[in-house]
Amino acid sequence: MKRYPMFMCLQNRPCLVVGGGKVALRKAESLLQSGAQLKIIAPQLDHELADLLNQYPHQATWQAREFQDQDIAGHYLIIAATNQRAVNARVAELADQQQIPVNVVDNQAACSFILPSVVDRSPVMIAVSTGGASPVLARQLRMKLETMIPSSCGQLAAITEEYRDQVKQRFADPEQRKQFWEQTLRGPFVELVYAGNSQAARQLLDEMLTQPSRVSTVGEVYLVGAGPGDPDLLTFRALRLMQQADVMVYDRLVAKSILDMASQTAERIYVGKEKANHAVPQEGINALLVRLAKQGKRVLRLKGGDPFIFGRGGEEIETLAENGIPFQVVPGITAASGCASYAGIPLTHRDYAQSCTFATGHLKNGTIDLDWEKLAQPRQTVVFYMGLTGIEVISRELIKHGTPSELPAALIEQGTTRNQRVHIGTLASLPELVKQRSVRAPTLTIVGEVVKLHEKLQWYQPERHVAASEFSRNLEPQE
């Protein structure tokens, strides 16, 4: 280990930055955020650095001149950030003589300390360093950590700090305290904080300390949107919850590549639904979620797209709420947004469409009795979910209610996946297009002038390493 890792307290400590450019700006910003009393010496200041200093009138000063040897004295930490190597070297030499920690930008050999790449979840701080060998690698590692560590991790640390004394009074034995915190930081308390419900988290901690026998053993349900198909479109929170679930209840439209990202130890229950063939009726799914949570399990309810857009997520959490089951909802990229983006079709465009309407291709009673007059209004984009079976009705009724038959329309089959196919036609030609090209579900239908932009804006060219039949198998329940 060539460098000793440490975190310094700079609160109200006098620190010096020599230089006034873009590099000095980055260093000054982090020093000010750390509470340092900052002095900057430079003949001129970058305008962004000047704006920054104006935000800290009682914490930062600027001396508009060249660096002089006597400027070193009295500082706790120094950073040399000029574009003159001789000046930087002189600053480092003088600082070293007076045993003041110094960092010289782009000169590792002259540094008595180096600045790591930092993940800031104050008060949680994670620093990544390669000892100056590869700053780019350090930044890449930090970026990976950013995706793994929830943004509210700092709030979690702050709350646990609040309760340190209470826990110490409750458990005199250090080993008991350690066990309490290990159990607490693996349980529902953490998810309450991450979900933004700090009040409920504190109430739970109070109960665990005063009446541990009364703490509920009920689990929790995570209603997670898996997006339209591409695993890269999952949210950070979705990935985290997928990794910690005890059981996963998933739909037909969740591809195997996404299922594989969930915890490998989680029990998997398939409840997929397709037209006239429901593996488990919706009422049965609702009851299943309640039953699993009452067994104390963390239940991942994984749904294609977004749970609240034609995903019946509202029905499921209504049942959970009636039964007192804790739950949280993680939005997903809905099919309309994801598939349209991957097809190069903006859902709104100031030259073509000033509004966008989402509609379902079949209602709960199996009909397609929609508000056709509203859907037939001009200068809008209409997106139909689950509309493939009723495409003839959709085409006929829109034309009947005034939509031009030649209006551009698109069918996006297996959108955002490597097997995506985009079929362009008109409103009148949609039914025949489905037959001619053997279009299969899952397919999204977009009707509107914006479809004209597909030819110009299409950017996603899937390589299709996987055959369409294999993708279809991925959507079926796994043995």
Q: Are 135 and 123 in contact (CB under 8 A)?
A: no
Which phi and psi angles does 335 have, rounded to 5°? -60, -40
* DSSP labels, 435-461: HHTT--SSEEEEESGGGGGHHHH----
Q: Which of 251, 275, 297, 374 is catalytic?
A: 251
Q: Does 43 count as an annotated binding residue?
A: yes
Instruction: Say how many C-beta atoms besides its own lie within 10 A of residue 28's C-beta.
Output: 27
Q: How far is CA 479 from the centre of its chain?
A: 31
Q: Any catalytic annotation for residue 173?
A: no
Which phi and psi angles does 129 have, rounded to 5°? -140, 145
Lookup: tokens for 280: 């488990």
Instruction: Say how many C-beta atoms besides its own lie within 10 A of residue 277's C-beta.
Output: 8
Cβ neighbors of 427 (< 8 A, separation 6 or more) are 395, 398, 399, 403, 404, 405, 406, 407, 408, 409, 447
Q: Where are the beta strands (DSSP E) in 31-181?
A: 37-41, 60-63, 77-80, 102-104, 117-121, 124-128
Q: Does 306 count as an annotated binding residue?
A: yes
DSSP classification of residue 349: B
Q: Does 386 count as an annotated binding residue?
A: yes
The helix (run of H) or strand (run of E) holding residue 423 is strand 421-426
Q: Does 334 count as an annotated binding residue?
A: yes
Cβ neighbors of 442 (< 8 A, separation 6 or more) are 229, 253, 304, 335, 413, 414, 415, 475
Lookup: tokens for 39: 């002095």
Q: Tokens 């949210």 map to which residue? A: 235
Q: Which of 96, 120, 246, 273 is catalytic?
A: 273
Name 75's bridge partners.
none
CA 188, 193, 198, 203: dihedral to nearest 10 degrees?
20
Compute the radius of gyration of the chain from its Cα atoms. 29
Q: Any catalytic annotation for residue 251?
A: yes
- 451/462 Cα distance (integer angstroms): 19
Give me the amino acid identity at 22. K
Q: Does 335 count as an annotated binding residue?
A: yes
Q: Does 304 count as an annotated binding residue?
A: yes
- 285/380 Cα distance (integer angstroms): 36
Q: In the 3-class helix/strand/coil scheme, how is 193-238 assigned residue by residue? A: HHCCCHHHHHHHHHHHHHCHHHCCCCCEEEEEECECCCHHHCCHHH
Q: Are 31 and 39 in contact (CB under 8 A)?
A: no
Q: Which residues are annotated as a binding site?
A: 22-23, 43-44, 228, 304-306, 309, 334-335, 386, 415
Q: Which residues are annotated as a binding site for S-adenosyl-L-methionine?
A: 228, 304-306, 309, 334-335, 386, 415
Q: Which residues are annotated as a binding site for NAD(+)?
A: 22-23, 43-44
Active site residues: 251, 273
